Structure 1
């Protein structure tokens, strides 16, 4: 990277120093769960000042304390592709691994993550499903909302029923997986030459939650044409009209 950038040779010393600094603060082996700095100094290093940059971000393997010889030491997470005219964010690899994990890598794709005529509730008479499996699926989908804003509403709705999930809730979560099957290569594009005008949008449904009749607010902010912030949450009070629901959404 330094060679391609045609930087002066004295930058190599800083590059080697930085690489050694980072390596001394990473785990030697997953079994030891200690860094070289901790073994030498007797205390854990502070890494709060470090920031991830570059092409890819990696997350630790989930549920694997003792990795096998051929197991990957990390799972690929958010992929950051830097181009001359902008930056592209994508989680295609993570989506593929998630579909394979829940045996849905060969399922048919859906055009929407949620059905318009589906309204989830506690479903007291429904058939219960495995809580661990359901919570693992919801946790994985919540991680994807960092890069796929169009699934945030339905994922947050399914996350409300983790204490006693039923078959109807699991089917709604599987519908999201089918949507990801057809959109796993889609991501966020941030062009380089963009205006710095900040634009915000807010919206709300009316009494969309069948449990407490509260509305759900949705908010997004764009810097020029680039989406930089999005949020979806249940309103704290019950709105008596659509105008009040929209006012609460814009205020929050």
Structure 2
């Protein structure tokens, strides 16, 4: 989904057209009107008269729904058709295909049988639709407006993406559509563990809610940390965890239409905010990495993730977060290169821990850092190569703080407002 948001942001900034296609892939290598889909394999002879119920073995001529290999066969069929049409497959994201240059450029993004095509030349996009229609049964859905639960709206200011209907359906199914809104997704004073509260009699309800909330985090950075924290108790949820989920649902009630605004006047420069807490998890004492990545003013990627090992200091935890952020930026730079967008300036990473910044900028081996895994020093190579630049920032301006801890309503609203998060459905 990061590639989707990046493509939408670039399409908005560069004024590209975006169209949507839906392909019918029920039967991958044949006509839907055929009556026979199976035959006996070569070398197998069975006499129907010799047995009343013979153990017949059949061979499929084509992959159909329900088979384990169907998805792979469909992807191979579609990708072969695109490659034969002159498209190049991205090595950073295999669902992205590109073709041409400048005004003849076309970007194609595939999600199973749903396709987005974008480019500056609308005539070429329609020609691509016709060429795909000659091989597949497809439905041209016109300008991109609704895709995989995301609602896309365009205006002179740019493009707005949200999951408003998905959120409303979630609140309606759980009975919280008429509840009193909460000011924060999680109480900052709440400390969850696996001891307090009673075990739930039916954990499936909790797991189902967390699964739906995880998909909602794709357009709601404000609930990412809360959902990440609650998802750690899916194996054995308790009543305290379910109460925290209900509090989160009340927060969603206050702004179901909140989403991301991709400004048409934004730049194409990558910048990121990286942060980490230190040993805040009461169960494992591991730290949590949080970062958010912008292209210009457009938020395209964010993450909350518990670190795999225990950090001995806050500087080490921040240093590991910097390495994770650098990895995300490197991947995004590969995607931008596939979209023919090259920047002469390095990507910026804002960090509020000076010790971590000094460790990353100083290639000299230190006694205090010899226990850190070699892959964490990946950021040093990127800084030396000039593709990434570290910039100190005050803690009060660290936007990634929202992805490492539960904030008060004042702090959360202050950070979220700087991430181009808006609610166009709320009266101003």
TM over 0.5: yes
CA contact (8 A) 2:197 2:239 kept: no
Report the equivalent of 1:239: 311
User: Are 1:158 and 2:230 matched, yes or no?
Assistant: yes
Which of residues 289, 292, 298 is equivalent to 1:217?
289
Q: Secondary structure at the match of 2:74?
A: coil
CA contact (8 A) 1:86 1:190 kept: yes
Partners of 1:142 and 1:207 lie apart in 2 by 24
Report the equivalent of 1:46: 74
Q: Mapping of 1:74-113 within 5 angstroms?
A: 77-113=149-185
Partners of 1:37 and 1:83 lie apart in 2 by 41
Relative to 1, partners in 2 of residues 1:99 and 1:112: Cα closer, same or farther, differing over 3 Å?
same
Q: Deviations over 1:134-167 (max 9, x none)?
A: 1110000000011101111110111111111100
Partners of 2:235 and 2:313 lie apart in 1 by 31
Partners of 1:115 and 1:37 lie apart in 2 by 56
Relative to 1, partners in 2 of residues 1:38 and 1:203: Cα closer, same or farther, differing over 3 Å?
farther
Distance apart, 1:125 and its partner CA = 5.5
Report the equivalent of 1:122: 194
Relative to 1, partners in 2 of residues 1:131 and 1:38: Cα closer, same or farther, differing over 3 Å?
farther
Report the equivalent of 2:92: none
CA contact (8 A) 2:150 2:163 kept: yes
Which of residues 41, 44, 56 is equivalent to 2:146?
56
Distance apart, 1:82 and its partner CA = 2.2
Per mean C-alpha deviation after superposition, the further-off stretch among 231-240 and 34-43 is: 34-43
- Provide the aligned length of Structure 1 versus Structure 2: 209
Distance apart, 1:129 and its partner CA = 4.3
Report the equivalent of 2:214: 142
- Unmatched 5+ residue regions in structure 2? 1-18, 38-60, 64-72, 80-109, 118-143, 325-428
Report the equivalent of 2:265: 193
User: Are 1:167 and 2:239 matched, yes or no?
Assistant: yes
Distance apart, 1:174 and its partner CA = 1.2
Report the equivalent of 1:65: none
Report the equivalent of 2:42: none
Report the equivalent of 1:71: none
- The two structures have a TM-score, normalised by structure 2, of 0.46
- Unmatched 5+ residue regions in structure 1? 1-14, 28-33, 59-76
CA contact (8 A) 1:129 1:167 kept: no
Relative to 1, partners in 2 of residues 1:129 and 1:246: Cα closer, same or farther, differing over 3 Å?
farther
Q: Deviations over 1:108-129 (max 9, x none)?
A: 1111101111121112663424
Q: Deviations over 1:30-77 (max 9, x none)?
A: xxxx6884554752473555424610024xxxxxxxxxxxxxxxxxx1
Distance apart, 1:84 and its partner CA = 3.2
Per mean C-alpha deviation after superposition, the further-off stretch among 218-227 and 49-58 is: 49-58
Distance apart, 1:180 and its partner CA = 0.5
Relative to 1, partners in 2 of residues 1:150 and 1:156: Cα closer, same or farther, differing over 3 Å?
same
Q: Which has the larger radius of gyration?
A: 2
Relative to 1, partners in 2 of residues 1:134 and 1:195: Cα closer, same or farther, differing over 3 Å?
same
